Amino acid sequence: MGNKRVLLGMSGGVDSSVSALLLKKQGYEVIGTTLELFAGSSCCDTNTYLEAKNLCKQIGIEHFTYDYKKEFQKYIINDFVEAYANCKTPNPCIECNKYMKFGVMWQKAQELGCDFIATGHYAKTEYSEKYGKWVLKKSENAKKDQSYVLWSLPKKLIEYVLFPLANFESKEQIREIARNHHLKVANKPDSEDICFVPDGNYKKFLESHSEIKPKAGNIVNSKGEILGKHNGLYHYTIGQRKGLGISNPVPLFVLGFDKAKNEVIVGEEKELYRQETTVADINLLLVDALEKEMEVQVKTRYSSKMAKAKIKQEAKNIKVVFDEPQRAITPGQSAVFYEGDVVVRWWKNYQIRR
């Protein structure tokens, strides 16, 4: 294996830097790359490029930077804007993984004669005797597991993707490796915001980078009674409680939207729970089609707990029936299905059944 080449995505952070160290130690010929995606984002500004390049130099591997700003605008920014324009709550990291890390980066890897691509994600790929194919699995670090945001990984690519951090049980182990190799990023904080919205103010970003602007409308309850006013549907997401500006004896939460009437619909917390949902944009990882009903564990958001459910295919969509009603199922988010720690298949774009 000694001369296998791998293209590693480098963010200038501790995870990707330690990934480079581990891959090199395992005998891979490692090439680091940083993709230029959006000017001013936290993951691809000038400091990021220089930091990644200097880290690669210290580790003793090559580093290249490639400009993919046009692709990022087309596939990630435009999707982000369109989602909010249609009253959905997107997860841009998922689209970035689909089109950038496992799209254009894989294409670049092939151009460079690489056998694999790698990232610092906390997830695992391995050949499964049970399923007779390569599978995507949870990492050993349950708190940091990122298998949820990798739903769009093409199944034909799974065996060519390496996640060097898969078997580490804590982030502190990663930082310790970095300290032992005198990497300056050993104690660098994790970035938790959307990379192209580093200040966390996505509303200001939408107003500055799209046609979405403040537009006053009514906040109503499920009966249509007006309870207050809002200044734009994009200011809200399903399940939100704070910022409604409504005085009410019982706490109110956002239940949904009526785009045609420019209304935010609110109600009591018990109204947030749903037993069923229908989801689209299917990416099957273990089978070509879902031929019968299947029992799975489901995550409906990155931070949500696993929930037991039964799923079955209905034409091009999937019907999900949960064992217990689930809170704040949100259009635009992804539903990820697991058998044990193996990712079975992924869908997104909910159609909520009330």
Q: List, by residue number, the catalytic residues.
A: 96, 195
Using CA atoms, how far residue 235 sits from 176, 228, 254, in Å, is 41, 14, 11
Q: Beta partners for 298?
A: 307, 337
Q: Do residues 272 and 238 make contact, with C-beta atoms less than 8 angstroms apart?
A: yes
Dihedral, CA atoms, 338, 148, 176, 35, nearest 10 degrees? 140
Using CA atoms, how far residue 295 sits from 43, 76, 161, 301, 349, in Å, is 38, 32, 28, 19, 21
| Number of CB atoms found within 10 A of residue 244's CB | 20
Q: Beta partners for 273?
A: 327
Burial of 157 (0-12, 13-18, 19+ CB in 10 A): middle
Closest CA to 101 of 57, 146, 140, 39: 146
Could you give the CA distance from residue 165 to residue 141 in angstroms, rounded to a whole number? 9
Could you give the CA distance from residue 183 to residue 2 in angstroms, rounded to a whole number? 25
Residue with structure tokens 């499920």? Answer: 222
Residue 348 host element (H or E):
strand 342-352
Q: What is the DSSP letter of 183?
A: -
Measured in degrees and rounded to the nearest 5, phi and psi for residue 9 equal -70, 125
